[in-house]
Chains A and B, each alone.
Chain A
Amino acid sequence: MMEVSPSTVSFREFGCEQTLLSRPDGSASFVQGDTSVMAGVYGPAEVKVSKEIYDRATLEVLVHPKVGLPGVRERSQEQCVRETCEASLLLSLHPRSSLTLILQVLHDDGSLLSCCLNAACMALMDAGLSMSCLFCGVTCAISTDGEIITDPTAAQEKESRALMTFAIDSKERRVMMSSTKGSFSVHELQQCITVSQKASEKIFQFYRDSVRRRYSKNL
């Protein structure tokens, strides 16, 4: 196993706020540097008959870009976030009901998909939905000289040779979701996964801190 020096796992400033919207059942905003995503969860609520699943809840994810209408790219992001949430949520606890997760992009400065995943996870937690594990998103960029950059900015993304986003679960630090761009070797992939797993610890620690901070205030 290769050593990952801690210097490679660096993040921009994190920020998170939960329960900031009053209408949804759960909400959160997640900020990674200048990238910022707001998430709202509605449900469990009544489901449309056509979308009803008899033994579990139907989860719908909507990604709204900062400007314009959602297009094909957003649809693909929705699919990634939805299937990740489906795997961690205990949907069978709410049969024949609907869950809706809305992600509003406030600003995109790189690592958007990972920020969406983080915001989604925080919002699901805030909604009090039962989950088998938590998940977090990490984006890695491989620069032209082979360096791995975690949580890249939009400029770094543009210069990079390859870009990978992973969702890591909190139980065994395994890969739940993977979405890549650009071409890379198997070794580079394994390296990026290792880096992301390392990085996920930091994010989960941040999750824990922010939830603790919130509840210590409330009590």
Chain B
Amino acid sequence: MPTDTKRVRGPDVSQSPFLFWSRPAEVLPSHEPRADGRQRDQVDVRPVFVRCGLVSQAKGSAYIEAGNTKVLCCVYGPRETERKDETDMKSGRLTTDMRFAPFSCPERGSWIQGSQDKDFSLMLQESLQPAVCLHRYPRSQIEVNVMVLENSGSILAHAVTCASMALADAGIEMYDLVLGCSLRQDGGSYVVDPTYPEENSWRSGSREKRGGLTVAFLPSLNQVSGLQSDGEMAEETLTAGIRTCIEGCYKLYPVIQQALIKAVRRAAPPAAES
């Protein structure tokens, strides 16, 4: 492996103390109530805290916090495309970069972007692109940077929501907001907006009919812009899952709208009525 000369280097190998924890990791039961008190088999999303316009240097920014999941997104642009050979005369380019802070997961991540981050970046881009009026920005690029500060599950879904808010905050013309919601199917039952332990519990046992699903949804157009699923699910469960996720998105919608209205009010206070 080539050594990283651009960072302060530590020892060649180090191990997470979790590996030596004598207590066995508990297997999450699939029928009892969830660890955080939410209901199974119901559209029970975590309450979210959202705020726009936190980063002074960015054109638009948004922060979302759902449970312990913390995501920050900044939007820069539209500006001239960096690589001239990729300049598109007719429409703009949307670039996305999603990164996890090294301390965001229970096990320390590397600074170097892994394949997982790149996959997420691509999925994020594909989910956002249909909502952005890119033809309004010829020859320019719009950069979406997402930083995951703490990963406590449903990361892609919240990143999509956060990114679309940041785009709206930046004043980029859009057809609609994009909201994300995740679901994890576990045999006959499912959990909406799963946490990190819920997402990773399937590793301990290998039962069938387990899978994850993330839906990116345009609420006012009632269209799905992104769909990502893994694991094994029957056709009916999958369609039912998508419906559940869409329901979850609608629960999120008013909160996001309120946050955006608040940000606009702050940026341009309504004229005092005379």
Q: Report which A residues bind B (CB closer than 8 A).
A: 69-72, 75
Considering the chains assembled together, what is the distance between the CA atoms of A132 and B170 in angstroms?
45
B19 located at the interface, meaning its Cβ lies under 8 Å from any Cβ of chain A in the complex? no
Within the complex, what minimum Cβ distance (angstroms) separates A74 from chain B?
Answer: 9
| Shortest CB distance B219–A (Å) | 41
Q: Looking across the interface, which residue of chain A has its beta carbon closest to that of B82?
A: A50
Contact of A70 among B5, B7, B8 (CB under 8 A): B5
Asked if B6 is at the interface of the complex by the 8 Å CB criterion, the answer is yes
Enumerate chain B residues within 8 angstroms of A70, measured Cβ to Cβ.
5
C-alpha spacing A70/B3, complex, angstroms? 11
Binary contact track B151-188/A, C-beta < 8 Å → 1, others 0: 00000000000000000000000000000000000000
Give the number of residue pairs across the A-B interface with Cβ within 8 Å: 11
Further 9 A-B residue pairs, CB within 8 A, beyond A71-B5, A72-B5:
A69-B3, A69-B5, A70-B5, A71-B6, A71-B9, A72-B6, A72-B7, A72-B8, A75-B6
Q: List residues of B whose CB falls within 8 A of some A CB.
A: 3, 5-9
Q: For residue B2, which residue of chain A has the nearest CB?
A: A69
Among residues of B, the one whose C-beta sits closest to the C-beta of A71 is B5
Q: Which residues of A contact B5 (CB under 8 A)?
A: 69-72
List, in ascending order, chain A residues with CB within 8 A of B8's CB. Answer: 72
Query: What are 11 A-B pairs with beta-carbon distances under 8 A?
Result: A69-B3, A69-B5, A70-B5, A71-B5, A71-B6, A71-B9, A72-B5, A72-B6, A72-B7, A72-B8, A75-B6
What B residues does A72 contact at CB under 8 A? 5-8
Q: What residues on A are CB-neighbors of B3 within 8 Å?
A: 69
Nearest-neighbour CB distance to chain A for B213, whole angstroms, equals 43
- How far, in angstroms, from A72 to B3 measured CA to CA in the complex? 12
- Specify the chain A residue showing the minimal Cβ separation from B4: A71
Q: Which residue of B lies closest to A74 (CB)?
A: B5
B215 to chain A, nearest CB (A): 40
Min CB distance B9 to A, Å, is 8
Which B residues are CB-close (under 8 A) to A71?
A: 5-6, 9
Name A75's closest neighbour in chain B (CB-CB).
Answer: B6
In whole angstroms, how far apart are the Cα atoms of A69 and B6 in the complex? 10
**Distance of B4 from chain A, by nearest CB (Å):** 9
* Complex Cα–Cα for A71 and B9 (A): 10
Q: How far is the CB of A72 from chain B (nearest CB, A)?
A: 6
The residue on B at minimum CB distance from A50 is B82
Tell me the bound Cα distance from A188 to B85 in angstroms.
58
B8's nearest neighbour on chain A, judged by CB, is A72
Chain A residue at minimal CB-CB distance from B3: A69
Give chain A nearest CB distance to B101 CB in angstroms.
20
Shortest CB distance B7–A (Å): 7
The 4 lowest CB-CB distance pairs between A and B, nearest first, are A71-B5, A69-B5, A72-B8, A72-B7
A70 to B4, CA, bound (A): 11
- Docked Cα-Cα span, A91 to B77, in Å, equals 32
- Which residue among B5, B6, B9 has the maximum number of chain A CB atoms within 10 Å of its CB? B5
Q: How far is the CA of A75 from the CA of B8 in the complex (A)?
A: 11
CA distance A172 to B5 in the complex (A): 38
Q: Roughly how many angstroms separate A70 CA and B7 CA in the complex, as a whole number?
A: 11
Q: In the complex, A72→B4 CA distance in Å?
A: 10
Residues of B contacting A75 in the complex (Cβ-Cβ under 8 angstroms): 6
CA distance A131 to B76 in the complex (A): 39
- Residues from chain B with a CB closer than 8 A to the CB of A69 are 3, 5
Closest partner residue, chain B, to A69 (CB atom): B5
Closest approach, in angstroms, between the C-beta of A68 and any C-beta of chain B? 8
- Distance in angstroms from B139 CB to nearest chain A CB is 17
Compute how far the CA of A29 lies from the CA of B8 in the bound complex, rounded to whole angstroms.
30
User: Which of A69, A70, A71, A75 has the most C-beta atoms of chain B within 10 angstroms of its own C-beta?
Assistant: A71
Chain B nearest Cβ from A90, distance in angstroms: 32
Chain A min CB distance to B183 (Å): 44
Q: How many whole Å from B232's CB to the nearest CB in chain A?
A: 46
